[in-house]
Chain A
Amino acid sequence: MAEITLQVNGAKHSLSADTRTSLLDLLREHLGLTGTKKGCDHGQCGACTVLIDGRRANACLALAVAHDGAEITTVEGLADGGEPHPLQAAFMEFDAFQCGYCTPGQLCSAAGMLSERGPSAITDDLTADPALTPEEIRERMSGNLCRCGAYVNIVAAIEAVGR
């Protein structure tokens, strides 16, 4: 067992958990924050994406104990007060989901991605900070799979917010 303190969506939580507990299971099973989804549990699908200290990460590959003291933002914490986050509003406007299972991960991943600087694998000029074109969004969001195939609208929604 380990004592773990996390700041989750602005609220401090101190709890005791088995060292084997992933951040994903801690959020879902210990804190009841079931917005973050378990897809593959191997870091390959992105459904569990959360922000750890502002950076997007796969919560399934993160041992909770290793992130003691971190600030975590989940999909439940994206909205500011009663207003949806601009990405949430855009996902609704652009119909960027079908079943919705990957959506919390898509939203958190997009939120993290929009604050990242620097080139991607498809950027021609490595020294430039490229414009967020649909191609750049596709590459940067490749860690989030959508089995319904809502990619076209997901890219449009992110593009609208990133513009």
Chain B
Amino acid sequence: MRPFAYARASDARDAVERFGPGAMYLGGGTNLVDLMRLGVAEPDSLVDVTRLPHDAIDGDGDGDGLRIGSAVRNSDLAAHPVVRERYPILARAVLDGASGQVRNMATVGGNLLQRTRCPYFQDVSKACNKRRPASGCPAIEGDHSNLAVLGHSEQCVATHPSDMAVALAALDARVQVTGPDGDRTVPIPGLHRLPGDDPSRDTVLRPGELITGVDLPPPPAGTSKYRKVRERASFAFALVSIAAVLDVADGVVRGCRLALGGVAHAPWRAEIAEAALRGVRADAEEFARAAEAELSRARPLPRNAYKVPLARNLIVRTLEELVP
């Protein structure tokens, strides 16, 4: 690991002021420390933001919804009574991610900003356009079995690994950001970029910008479910995951939110499927039609084509289970 300077920030303004060239913010460290050990991340300095006063969850889910501080630990988010009762897909998604130890360490802000687990990104002996721009993407010809089928580019086929972000995408979360140029709000989806011709940038955040919190509007009407398909029963990243909210009245879909994980460089809000479902009969045939409309945009690679029928079936099955 390359030597680095360490500073602990007392509040968000202090953190932004301490953020110089070559700096990175340090949350729980569960991804960043590993990337530093692998030589993938080589910061000159770390600004520790785990002790910022953004460590509370406020609100009851009504009115202003819920405000989640960026330094809240993943385990505390999943165990919070309002999250469990009013935003169950968020609690479920967090509990489906990582291990008990990692959830105790990882922060909400860090979870959103974790990097892809693409094997080439994490191996400094390999080319990778995300890690070293214009060096190439060996994943396209190599092991892309758990990489993207939607929204990828010639430059990068990485996936975003977070479960939590998938639930937040379905809940229309808004990320509070502060930085050298002041405060702003960034919606999810919208925080994470598609790779395009600049895969080095995972998100729209600018240098020095810091996530201070995540705001949730009151929970959407209907029933909801988070489901994750993975290669082992626990402590594994998603092959495909889904956060679904379905509101049905008299057998007809009144509203629907669908977000997919494990399929793209960002949590994938399935807007085409959502639009196709509005006002139609809540049955398997319509669910399949909507899923297929969404996935008609998929461009699978030879070794991850399985994700397309997997995502289709996951959408259909999950929505069927949500019909009252």
Contacts and interface: CB of A to CB of B under 8 A. Distances in A.
Contacts of A55: 75, 104
A143 B99 CA distance: 5
A103 interface: no
A56 to B, nearest CB: 5
B3 interface: yes
Contacts of B64: none
Main secondary structure of the interface of A (DSSP, over half): loop
Interface of B: 1, 3-6, 8, 26, 28-30, 33-34, 36-37, 46, 48, 50, 75, 78-79, 81, 84-85, 88, 91-92, 95-96, 98-102, 104-105, 233-235
Interface residues of A, number: 40
Nearest to B27: A66
A46 B99 contact: yes
Contacts of A22: 33
A18 B3 contact: yes
A43 interface: yes
A159 interface: no
Interface string A104-134: 0000010011001111110000110000000
Nearest to A66: B48
Contacts of B84: 118-119, 126-127
Nearest to B3: A20
Contacts of A116: 75, 79, 100
7 A-B pairs closest in CB distance: A143-B99, A118-B79, A142-B234, A121-B95, A142-B235, A19-B6, A126-B84
> Which of B33, B46, B85, B233 counts the most A-chain CB atoms under 10 A from its CB?
B33
